[in-house]
Structures are given as structure tokens and as C-alpha cells.
Amino acid sequence: MENQANSKNIILNYGLYYGLIVVFTNLLLYAAAMHLTTTGGLINIGVLAVCLILFPIIGNSKFKKSNGGFLSWGQAVKIGVGIVLMGTLINVIYVRVFSTLIEPDFYTQVAEVQTQAYLERGLTEEQTEAQVAMQSKFQGTIIGDSLGLLLFAFLGFVSSAIAGAIMKRTEEDNY
């Protein structure tokens, strides 16, 4: 395979698309004042799930097509995880900008919404305060961002591994 396709451009392009779609969705939810609602959260999770599954598949298809129809499982995982990490990194940067410049009291608003939700579920004041305090330790921190990147790297690995196992075609398969 001397003329192997370049996966770097595919990772960068589709990772950028992934990140921009997620950021655009977040901006739309913010503009519609749905960024703190359950419906907005479900829409955001839905878009993330679709992007998490769809973009690694599209990226791997593009690579396979430009690589003469060949794609190894390892290449598929590398491309898929790269796309997901690139998109997630764009989203992390957006959330940082959003929570510091656009809506500086965002995490305070989130804590208020969470407190109300916990109280409505029947948790005591002490339990609610403990939950909110634990969550606030990770919100907007480098540790929280790193854990988010690790989580999405894992999810990207899982979706890419499944897609790669299905889409795999190597030169050895031809013999």
C-alpha cells in the first residue's frame, strides 16, 4: 500500500464539522432560551449521539473510498477517535468561551436548576447540597474537561471499533 490515503485531513475536516454542528446546536438552544431546560438537554444529547456515530462512519467511508476500497480496523479506530476528539475539543473550547464571556454565571444557573430538580425528586436539603457541590467541583475545570475528553474518546472508540469491524477490508481479504 504505497499510495495510502491521508487520514489527517479526514480527521481534521470531519472533526471540524462535528464540533461546529455541536456548537451551532448549543448556540441555537441558548438563543431559544432552552439551554437550561430538560428538552434542551435531550436535544443536545441527541445531536451528540448522532454526531458520535455518524461522523466516524462518514470519515471512514471517505478514507476507504480514497484508499482504493481498503480500510483496516486500526485505521478505522484511529480515524473515528480522531474525529470525535477533534469535535469534542472544539466543543470544550466553546463551553469555556460561553461560560466565561457569553454567560459568566452559567454554572450558577445550572446549579440552581439542579438544586430545584433534586428537591422535586424528594432529596433532602443536605443531600441536594452535597450533590450540587460534588458536581460543581468538575464543572468548568480542567479536570472536568479532561474527563469529558476521555469519556468521548472512549465512546468514539466504541463507535469506531464497531464501524471498523463492519467496514473493514484489507488486501489480505482478497486472497
Has residue 160 got a pLDDT over 60?
Answer: yes
Comparing 125 with 88, which gets the higher pLDDT? 88
Beta strands in 26-102 (DSSP E): none
Give the contacts of 54 (CB within 8 A, at least 6 positions apart).
none
Query: Quick one: pLDDT at residue 22?
Result: 97
Average model confidence (pLDDT) across the chain? 90
Averaged pLDDT, 3-28: 92
Query: Quick one: pLDDT at residue 6?
Result: 85
The residue extents of the domains of the chain are 7-103+145-170
Has residue 165 got a pLDDT over 50?
Answer: yes
Query: Quick one: pLDDT at residue 130?
Result: 86
Instruction: Provide the pLDDT confidence category of residue 108 given band limits of 50, 70 and 90.
Output: confident
Has residue 161 got a pLDDT over 90?
Answer: yes
As a whole-number percent, the residues of the chain with pLDDT over 90 amount to: 62
Least confident among 21-25, 54-58, 73-77, 141-145: 141-145
Has residue 63 got a pLDDT over 90?
Answer: yes
Alpha-carbon distances, residue 135 vs 64, 74, 75, 128 (angstroms): 42, 36, 36, 11
Query: Quick one: pLDDT at residue 173?
Result: 63
Has residue 1 got a pLDDT over 70?
Answer: no
Residue 76 in contact with residue 14, Cβ under 8 Å? no
The C-alpha cell 477517535 sits at 81
Query: Quick one: pLDDT at residue 2?
Result: 46
Query: Quick one: pLDDT at residue 175?
Result: 57
Has residue 60 got a pLDDT over 80?
Answer: yes
Q: Which residues are bridge partners to 71 per DSSP?
A: 169
